[in-house]
Amino acid sequence: MRSEGGRVQGQARGDHNEVSGTVHGGAVQARTVYGGIHIRAEGAGEGRRAHVPWQLPPSVRITDRTAELEALEGHRERAAAEGYGTLAAVSGLGGVGKTAVALAWLHGLRERFPDGQLYAHLGAQSAAGPAAPDEVMGRFLRALGVPTGQIPTALAERLALYRSLTADRRLVVLLDDAATAAQVRPLLPGGRNVTAVTSRWRMPGLTVDGCYAVHLDPLATEAAVELLEVTLADGRVAAQPQEARALVELCAGLPLAVRVAGARLAARPRRHLTTMVRALTEERGRLEALAIEGDHDVRAALDLSYQGLPDEAARLYRRLGLHPGPEFGSAVAGAALGGGRDAAGPLDVLYDANLLIDAGDERYRFHDLVRLHAAEKAEADETAQERAAALRRIADHYLATATRAEEIVDPQHRTLDRSYGEEGEPVPADFGEGTDAALDWLEGELPNLMAVIRIARPAGFPTVAWQLADALWPLFLRRKFYEDWRAADREGLLAAQELGDAVAECRMLTSGGMGELGMGDHERALEMFERAARTFRAGGDALGHARTLNYQGLAHQRLGRLDRAAELFTRAAAELPGAGDRRAGGLARLNLADIALERGLWEQAAAEADAAHTTLDEAGDAYNAARAATLLGRAHLGRDRLDLAEERLSTALATLRGMAAHYETARAVESLATLAERRGRTDLARERYREALDLYSAVGRAKSAHAEAVRTRLGRLDDQATDGTAG
């Protein structure tokens, strides 16, 4: 029995000599046939239904994925309208719910695609290696009704048969846990069918095949709470809402972690959520707690991703687990690798593996649970010496770059040496040109810099703690991050004391005292300045002791003891030039000018400010010279010499704006607003008062006495405008 243009598969069965089989082609020719003949044309409705696979695993409840599902369905509808099949890839971190989203989408298409569902787990993370496409295709062909003995052995022939059998069907295919685009591509069906691919790796290679990529992030807090409630389904979440939020936040929104925590709680219906919260609060035991023996395990899910990394990417992954801050750039990654190695390639691998989150501007961060996993791998796969060296390189990178920023913003402050690890001073990161760029880098990296300061002493390099705190002085002085200022100098002081370094100790005391002044704790500041003075005197350091006179004077001034403050500033102005610091003597004259202004002694204020400006300008201290110019302008304003006041204030303002010194800029703008008001230019005065308020707010001084005074003047002008009495 044969067919022309095709093939008949048949066999004699029983006493009836019945021939049954599948005919591929258009004609059948036979000699003599005994018994019944049953011929089924592949593709006809009746025959097709005999081999309709429904292989998709059951779907599970998902939360907060409406946008992703709508995006997938929108892509399918566009492809269908244009006459194409649909290909979509869902990627994300292990445990984020990729398969759950794909299943929710594909199960919803069953009525539109009645010819079946094919499913294959491609085993990207399998110990035996990813599944071979020809093996998977063989399973698909059997599911579509092709007997095992009739499946071609060559991949190309299997592919041709697979595409032929799917060309006129309406089915969906789920390729789960794919390793590469090359593994996926042969398994794409023919016709207008729908294929979904899930992978822990981003798959840009499938873009050329018309793939639509959906990346899943962890759940938002409210959605994670909803998932926990669904998992428990016993009222504990509603009864303990705050504990539920704390629990899912410790799970960092990872659906697998939330489900595991919920499952463990479900097994103990009398246990309070606070018990699980306590178990997860300790970082070192968190991954251990997020496991169900013999079943779901967050650590195991991350282990699979880690095992699939190339050596260099795996090395970078675990060393970045040592990074103490919340995010990092490529320069820090290079420091972690060491040896001058370029981290760009390994970073791309980690990003494509969804083990890093793109934070923008070539910066990355870890998901919280991934960070814990990376730290565990560093502990397990790196020696103690390698870990210590990598952490020191990271710290040195930040110290070198912060020091470079300090030199740009405040070169006069940069007087103390920096010390680095065995590999020497690293090349600082490139943050651009100018004061603004340097300050912006310091501000942007402040969380990382503070994290390094906190871990440096316990990690065994206390010099980094005080030197990095010292390098942050220009940022703290200009942008007033007072809480960080206090924390940095306190840790730096402990480090200096541990080292027995009196110079470093005094530096931390005077810097920290200035921070305390800014926070309003004037007594604490005075105590720190006096302690530094005693230390300098005990060490026979006349210059250091003379410098503390300025600091002590500032504390007394803030405490309202103007006579004592003026006495200390006068001594400082006399002693400092002879001790070798003419610039600090100029600062003492600047402080005397400020006291004279406070007392309304305009002539004395102008003389002191003018002398201070000359000295500071000659010393190359543009910032403090501009401050002196502001004081001189205010003195002229007090004497009603408005043209001279405007000239000095405008010059100071131009300099301060260029230095991004917002607080001092606000003082100059406030004075120019007062000048405009004196001249009857109320619109300009209001504009400048508002700008001054914005600047005070920008540095956290919205409730300072200066800001309140500006607010009062602005309110008075607004009232006058309303009453029609403004000039």
Model pLDDT for residues 189-208, shown as the tens digit of each residue = 999 999 999 999 999 999 88
> How large a percentage of the chain has pLDDT more than 90?
80
Q: Which of 55-64, 292-301, 548-557, 628-637 has the lowest mean pLDDT?
A: 292-301
Residue 673 pLDDT more than 50?
Answer: yes
Rounded to an integer, the average pLDDT of 309-330 is 96
Distances (CA, A) of 416 to 540, 579, 681: 18, 18, 49
What confidence score (pLDDT) does residue 47 get? Answer: 42
Instruction: Decide which of 414 and 456 is more confident.
Output: 456
Instruction: Decide which of 562 and 19 is more confident.
Output: 562
What confidence score (pLDDT) does residue 353 get? Answer: 93
Residue 130 pLDDT more than 60?
Answer: yes
Angle between helices 642-658 and 662-678 (to 10 degrees): 160
Q: Report the C-alpha gap between 86 and 73 in whole angstroms.
A: 10
Residue 18 pLDDT more than 80?
Answer: no
237-279, pLDDT tens digit by residue? 999 999 999 999 999 999 999 999 999 999 889 888 999 999 8
3-class secondary-structure state, position 342: coil
Highest mean pLDDT among 20-34, 113-127, 456-470: 456-470
Strand (E) or helix (H) holding 44: none
* Structure tokens given for 643: 């043209």
What confidence score (pLDDT) does residue 725 get? Answer: 55
- Whether the Cβ atoms of residue 66 and residue 214 lie closer than 8 Å to each other: no
- The domain limits of the chain are 2-41, 66-216, 221-296, 307-382, 383-502, 521-643, 661-727
Residue 607 pLDDT more than 90?
Answer: yes
250-279 per-residue burial string, b: 16 or more CB within 10 A, e: under 16: bbbbbbbbbbbbbebbeeeeeeebeebbeb
Please compute Rg for the chain using Cα positions: 37
What confidence score (pLDDT) does residue 97 get? Answer: 94
Which architecture, in CATH terms, is 66-216?
3-Layer(aba) Sandwich (3.40)
What confidence score (pLDDT) does residue 724 get? Answer: 62
Name every residue whose Cβ is closer than 8 Å to that of residue 86 and which is 6 or more positions away in sequence.
Answer: 75, 76, 79, 80, 192, 193, 194, 195, 212
Residue 30 pLDDT more than 60?
Answer: no
Residue 15 pLDDT more than 80?
Answer: no
Residue 611 pLDDT more than 50?
Answer: yes
What confidence score (pLDDT) does residue 635 get? Answer: 97
**β-sheet bridge partners, residue 7:** 24
DSSP per-residue string spanning 91-112: EESTTS-HHHHHHHHHHTTTTT
Confidence of residue 36 (pLDDT cuts 50, 70, 90): very low
338-380, pLDDT tens digit by residue? 988 899 999 999 999 999 999 988 899 999 999 999 999 999 9
Confidence of residue 32 (pLDDT cuts 50, 70, 90): very low
Residue 187 pLDDT more than 90?
Answer: yes
Residue 35 pLDDT more than 60?
Answer: no
Confidence of residue 39 (pLDDT cuts 50, 70, 90): very low
Instruction: Decide which of 126 and 83 is more confident.
Output: 83
Neighbours of 211 (CB within 10 A): 20
458-467, pLDDT tens digit by residue? 999 999 999 9
* Structure tokens given for 26: 């258009």
Confidence of residue 433 (pLDDT cuts 50, 70, 90): confident
Q: Which of 27-36, 172-181, 435-444, 581-590 has the lowest mean pLDDT?
A: 27-36
| Overall CATH class of domain 307-382 | mainly alpha
Rounded to an integer, the average pLDDT of 518-528 is 96
Confidence (pTM): 0.81
Rounded to an integer, the average pLDDT of 304-308 is 91
What confidence score (pLDDT) does residue 386 get? Answer: 97
Distances (CA, A) of 105 to 59, 69, 140: 9, 6, 21
CATH assignment, 521-643? 1.25.40.10
3-class secondary-structure state, position 553: helix
Mean pLDDT of the chain: 90
Residue 609 pLDDT more than 90?
Answer: yes
Distances (CA, A) of 568 to 229, 516, 535: 66, 19, 18
Listed in order, strand segments (DSSP E) in 134-271 are 172-176, 194-199, 212-216
DSSP per-residue string spanning 592-616: HHHHHHHHT-HHHHHHHHHHHHHHH
What confidence score (pLDDT) does residue 291 get? Answer: 87
